[in-house]
Amino acid sequence: MVEDSLTVRKRLVEVLSSDQALEVVGEASDGKTAVELCQALRPDVMTLDMMLPVMTGLAVTEYVMAFFPTPILVVSASTNRGEVFKTYDALAAGAVDVLDKTLGDDPGEQWERKLVEAVKMVSRIRVITHPRARLRRLALEPRVPDFERRQNGEPRLVAIGASTGGPGAVHAILRALPEDFPLPVLLVIHICEPFASSLAEWLDDQTQLVVRHAIDGERLPAPSAGRGTVLMAPPRSHLIVQRGRLGLTSDPERHSCRPSVDVLFESIAAECATQSLACLLTGMGRDGAQGLLAIQKCGGTTIAQDEATSVVYGMPREAVLLGAAGRVLPLEQIAPAMIAWSGWQGTLRSET
């Protein structure tokens, strides 16, 4: 349990210790102590505040994931843009999930129950060594998979759906796409409020592409040679494609999710499946699997992230079991596959 406020930390310990399935084995009030305790105790899960003395939460995440990978749940108050961005950085560096710190504000101990459930969920996830180092190596020698586009029409769009582990996976894919990637990318990510609101802004800051929330009624951008565009479903709204335009709806949740990946994928299946590539990334549950199958059945191209590179092999697994995934690829091969499918011509940049 890593939290610099003694009052908050003791309350968090009390909440978790009240569940018989959980044992708090260590407490830290600063980042350096957190790293030392994590290395010595090797816990099943670490809860981590972002704003810490000595070492920040981001520095702790990067060090832990590099040397002794441990499932990390970020528990942080989203007080300002800088802190929220640091939370996204930690998710990109290997933290599994995030929970907003709202002790005392929710009725009936609702937040406390969310904390217990989140800790149990994160503790069950197998994590791997620091993904950033691995992706930097891959960026120097881009590997293009053996991937050919079906001759069913000119490429029109790429769609991506993700949940737990999604911010890091999407970050890796978008950073690997060229600045002039010609196709619009439609994106749905499950992430809790209030962190969802600024995710598009953070991705825009982290990549060469323009990343923003979709606007209800706007035209689906045409393929172009200009700067690539990523249009993301805003919080609490489904994103759909209909008659050449993007729509935002407040229709009922699908799989307890709004936005839902299935809703987006099913609209693409009905609108322009043969001109689309859809990719389902890491995530818990099954949202997106049926939608991916619908796109494939209508002649579209489909990809699921493989188990080895998924933080949670839930949504992609469901798609594979349904036979919805035309290809099952490791994370580092997904952007090259998108580039090859799009027909983009150019030279991939190298990152150092």
Q: Compute the Cα dihedral for 330, 290, 230, 326 and give only its sign.
A: positive
Rounded Cα–Cα distance for residues 158 and 57 (Å): 34
Closest CA to 328 of 110, 92, 147: 147
User: Which phi-psi region, left, alpha or beta, contains residue 268 (left: φ > 0; alpha: ψ -120 to 50)?
Assistant: alpha
Q: 49, 100, 262, 287: which one is catalytic? A: 287
Closest CA to 212 of 221, 202, 220: 202
Rounded Cα–Cα distance for residues 140 and 136 (Å): 7
List, in order, residues 6 or more apart from 336 with CB less than 8 Å away: 142, 143, 144, 145, 147, 176
Q: 76, 163, 310, 342: which one is catalytic? A: 163
User: Which phi-psi region, left, alpha or beta, contains residue 206 (left: φ > 0; alpha: ψ -120 to 50)?
Assistant: alpha
Beta carbons within 10 angstroms of residue 348's beta carbon: 16
Q: 76, 78, 97, 190: which one is catalytic? A: 190
216 is catalytic: no
Distances (CA, A) of 231 to 59, 65, 87, 160, 344: 30, 30, 21, 10, 19
29 is catalytic: no
Tell me the backbone φ, ψ of residue 165, rounded to 5 degrees. 85, -5
163 is catalytic: yes
Which active-site residues does the annotation give?
A: 163, 190, 287
